[in-house]
Structure 1
Amino acid sequence: MASSDDVTGKSPDPPSKPLLFPYIDEFHHHHSPPPSESDPSSSSHYPTTITYNYSPRPIKDLTFLLLFLLFVISTFAFGIFASINRNPNPPSSVSAFSYDIRTDSCVKTENRVLFFNLFLSDSGYILKNLILTVVVTLILSIPISLFVVFSLKHYAKQLVYASLPFVVLVPVCLDVYWFVACTVNDTCSERFALVYRILVLVFVLLVVGVMVWIIVVNWSRVELTVKIIRVSADALSNNLGLFGVLPVMSLGLVIYFAPIVLFLVFARLNGEFVPRGKRGKVFCEWEQDGWVPAYYALAILTMLWSAAAMVEAQVYVISGTIAQWYFSKDDSRVKRSIRSSLRNAFGPSSGTICFSGLLIAIVRIVRGAVDTAANEDASGMVNVVLRCCVNALLSAFEFLNKFTINFAAITGEAYCASARLTYELLRRNLLSVVVVEVVSTRLLAAIVFVISAIYAIVVCVILKAATDLGVDSYFVAAVSFVVVLVILGFLVHVLDNVIDTVYICYAIDRDKGEVCKADVHEIYVHLPISRNHNPAYLNARTPLLV
């Protein structure tokens, strides 16, 4: 167990001092009181105070940082070697080589120059409008994102309630449109008999009906989730600098990937043309160097680990910044909070981030391997066993990893210590390790989908009126829809991490018997303590579907 000096930079209180203060607050009469002093979990080896660690932090998980740097350095070193050692004749030029019996080797017999003609008539006009639309969309994505954040902060309830009908209407309209269009079209009606078309129509309507039923049954949870979204949007609006830092971090990852991708291309050119005999004839064939597949594996693993580590670094920066806002007094704006979070993320806690990224990368590789095996012709029992093992692994990892990086960003602890301390913190305060509102993600996804669809419709109308694209305007509008959806999806990812961070900060407040943000306590106190727990105030109104 890490000492309290590591967590807060302060000396621990005497062992005789109670660890858990009785949390008596007007907001918490719905929950049972925290464990008593006699509880074994409240022994003196737990830190007496947990808060944001502003003091200089020691380096944690250095082994994994060194291992990550070893992967990166090896990838770039062998990539530079592959670039220098590459064959100037690519494998595609094998037809230009023939077997020379005098030297018993393959020699180049002719020089071929390939000419590529680009026909940019109609396609050039489409491409021009597509690029212009994407550029305008990227520029407009900034005010659109700010509009979403401030709308969720001040009008979250109205925005959610306005979006929910579209979640139902859009699939219903598409279903009815497909049924009518297929009935009118002779080719479609021949391929799909009337019975099958009716079955598809009814099936989609039944799915929509189930969605409506879930929304109605969980209406009280929707109201709670709206409040959680509003609080997270308020926290994010007080730290708008994240909108500049997080995209820059993603752009930095792309720039970092660029030379690795180039190295992979050059590595493919490491080899030579060798003679091969077949049916009495000798011809030339490209033979790749034996080390190239190993380098491909190394480079791909490095990219996967780097991508996962960058995602964890973004979560770390979000959590560190939001935590400083949460623990600030009198709602005062914290200066240089993002800068200090970046310094900690790429400094003392870089090993922790690399460790977390490695675990996530391993889980994704295992899950991808099992999904691939499931699609192959393997025995049914093997597929079931593999899926059970992977599901157990994923569940155990999610149980361990949930809130770990958030806690590490707040305290500066190592990965394993953060996982253990987070679990104990939530357990002592009768809070769940895995239960935070998942409805918020679905509601935010619904809002993002509706806004992206409205934007695409507006783009399509403008293109129809101002250009001669015709049917191609639908394609350009679809691309703009995807661009807005991806950008706002990133915003949802940020808001989800803000919700998790505020949840951990609320747990720290509850553990200390303090209230740093009263409005947060008013809302988060009503979260269920387990998947099978229904808060009393919700049971009195309508049952929950969990």
Structure 2
Amino acid sequence: MFALTISFAAAGATVPAIIFALLTALTAFVFYLWRDELNLVASLLAVSTKGLRDNPHIVTAVVGLQLAAFAWLVPLVGFMMFANMNGAVAVSRDAVARDASSGVCVDGVGAAVDCCAWETEAWVPPYLFLAAVSGIWFVSAALETRLFVIGGTICQWYFAPVGTSDFSGGVRRALGHALGPSFGSVCFGSFVLTMVELARSAAERLRREDRDNILVCIIVTCLECVYAIIEYISKFAMLQASITGEAFCEAAASVTDLLSRNFLTAYGTYAFPGMILQGASLVIAVGFGCATWLLSYGVFAATLAANAGLYAGLVGILSAIISLVVMSFFAMIALNVVDAVFLCYAMDKDRNSVHRGELHAVLHEVNEKNQPQGGLVRNPGGQYAYGSYA
């Protein structure tokens, strides 16, 4: 917003410059009020990524799952395109009459339309629908498997005995559970996400077709909140299933009860990790793109003087896009790790135990920021436990 303020001011657009200057000041003030929470979340990200550093093959597994999803989608799209080729040319259903003088077909309101249209065979529409559902379901299953693997691996790392330094095999074990005993939970969780996605698409299509109906707009907006809640609960349910081995529905009920008992309003602080990582990804991508543009311009100016600026700009934009994709990929993994650590900490707190004191020191401070009724204290035996502040 500050960059837009400078741009509008340089262009002489006074009113937009003032508006964005006020928005910039307001945003800076809000971040100033949230400085304690932001510092705590930065510490939370730092200690949570220790789990990712100790289990680097999480990245390998996630890349493999995404390649598997891509390998499924490519032939599926080809089959859908081939299915659309099965049909014949027929009279367009929109054409209700034909002007004898001009030979142009018109619809019911007199607008010109094509006289002919491609009409597919009867089996094609159901096949396309089932293929689309299967594609969404498979991608959702890959995403849920990714979440299960991250949750299962981080759980093994978190609850490992003190002094453990070798965590090899954790990813393989979690992946075996995801594709073995818990495969039904993965499939059912991905089916829930598939239904949510189909319902969201239908609601969005309804809103586009009936833009002037305020009731439809209100209903679709309310449904978006319901979809977001379902997706949020589904995420933690899959993490719970990866840790405890429960079925999906049982995991959803138990994790909701667990987090409700232990965190309540502290959820607000956990909205920051995504904002921080996504913002950092964007800034790094823009910086990398600008650096690539400057370097490219210096090279192209010596060889392609006429189009040096154009070529350098294209290279800079492409570099920024690639950088943003890569950074967003690692930010996504880091956020899943934070969620898994968050859930493991909730289990520790619920059982009045501590497995990783350095994580508890940060996570407990984040939680108690909004709930100052108890504290993490060391008892005479040297063990951590939750008690009242002195």
Normalising by structure 1, we get a TM-score of 0.59
* Partner amino acid, structure 1, of 2:323: V
Match of 1:136 in 2: none
Question: Whole-Å Cα distance in 2 between the matches of residues 397 and 377 of structure 1?
Answer: 26
Are 2:191 and 1:358 aligned? Answer: yes
* Partner amino acid, structure 2, of 1:501: A
Are 2:314 and 1:486 aligned? Answer: no
* Partner amino acid, structure 1, of 2:137: W
Match of 2:340 in 1: 501
* 1:31-430 matched pairs, under 5 angstroms: 171-180=1-10, 182-183=11-12, 197-273=13-89, 286-329=118-161, 330-375=163-208, 376-391=210-225, 393-394=226-227, 396-398=229-231, 400-429=233-262
Question: Whole-Å Cα distance in 2 between the matches of residues 420 and 266 of structure 1?
Answer: 44
Are 2:357 and 1:518 aligned? Answer: yes
Gaps of 5+ in 1: 1-170, 184-196, 538-546
CA displacement 1:511-535 (0-9 Å, x = unmatched): 33321100111111123479xx454
* Partner amino acid, structure 2, of 1:405: M
Are 2:280 and 1:447 aligned? Answer: yes
Question: Whole-Å Cα distance in 1 between the matches of residues 116 and 33 of structure 2?
Answer: 70
8 Å contact kept, 1:316–1:406: yes
Structure 1 pair 332/514, CA: closer, same or farther in 2 (3 Å)?
farther
Are 2:268 and 1:438 aligned? Answer: no
Structure 1 pair 203/374, CA: closer, same or farther in 2 (3 Å)?
farther
Moved segments of 4+, more than 6 Å: 275-281
1:272, distance to aligned residue in structure 2 (A): 3.0
Structure 1 pair 284/503, CA: closer, same or farther in 2 (3 Å)?
closer
Structure 1 pair 445/536, CA: closer, same or farther in 2 (3 Å)?
farther
8 Å contact kept, 2:37–2:366: no
Match of 1:470 in 2: 309
Structure 1 pair 461/529, CA: closer, same or farther in 2 (3 Å)?
same
1:502, distance to aligned residue in structure 2 (A): 0.7
Structure 1 pair 427/372, CA: closer, same or farther in 2 (3 Å)?
same
1:395, distance to aligned residue in structure 2 (A): 5.1
* Partner amino acid, structure 2, of 1:457: C
Question: Whole-Å Cα distance in 2 between the matches of residues 464 and 396 of structure 1?
Answer: 48
Question: Whole-Å Cα distance in 1 between the matches of residues 191 and 334 of structure 2?
Answer: 24
Question: Whole-Å Cα distance in 2 between the matches of residues 382 and 285 of structure 1?
Answer: 32
Question: Whole-Å Cα distance in 1 between the matches of residues 134 and 23 of structure 2?
Answer: 42
* Partner amino acid, structure 2, of 1:383: C
1:431, distance to aligned residue in structure 2 (A): 5.4
Structure of higher CA gyration radius: 1
1:448, distance to aligned residue in structure 2 (A): 1.3
8 Å contact kept, 2:182–2:247: yes
1:399, distance to aligned residue in structure 2 (A): 5.7
8 Å contact kept, 1:271–1:287: yes
8 Å contact kept, 2:263–2:367: no
1:464, distance to aligned residue in structure 2 (A): 0.4
8 Å contact kept, 1:309–1:354: yes
8 Å contact kept, 2:44–2:363: yes
Normalising by structure 2, we get a TM-score of 0.82
Structure 1 pair 509/202, CA: closer, same or farther in 2 (3 Å)?
same
* 1:19-30 matched pairs, under 5 angstroms: none
* Partner amino acid, structure 2, of 1:259: P
8 Å contact kept, 1:236–1:495: yes
8 Å contact kept, 1:423–1:433: no
CA displacement 1:478-536 (0-9 Å, x = unmatched): 12111111111111111111111111111222233321100111111123479xx4547
Gaps of 5+ in 2: 104-114, 375-390
Report the identity percentage.
25
8 Å contact kept, 2:41–2:366: no
* Partner amino acid, structure 2, of 1:372: R
Structure 1 pair 215/344, CA: closer, same or farther in 2 (3 Å)?
same
Question: Whole-Å Cα distance in 2 between the matches of residues 418 and 285 of structure 1?
Answer: 51
Match of 1:99 in 2: none
Q: What's the secondary structure of 2:309's corresponding residue?
A: coil
8 Å contact kept, 2:211–2:217: no
Q: What's the secondary structure of 1:272's corresponding residue?
A: strand
Structure 1 pair 365/199, CA: closer, same or farther in 2 (3 Å)?
farther
Question: Whole-Å Cα distance in 2 between the matches of residues 285 and 398 of structure 1?
Answer: 40
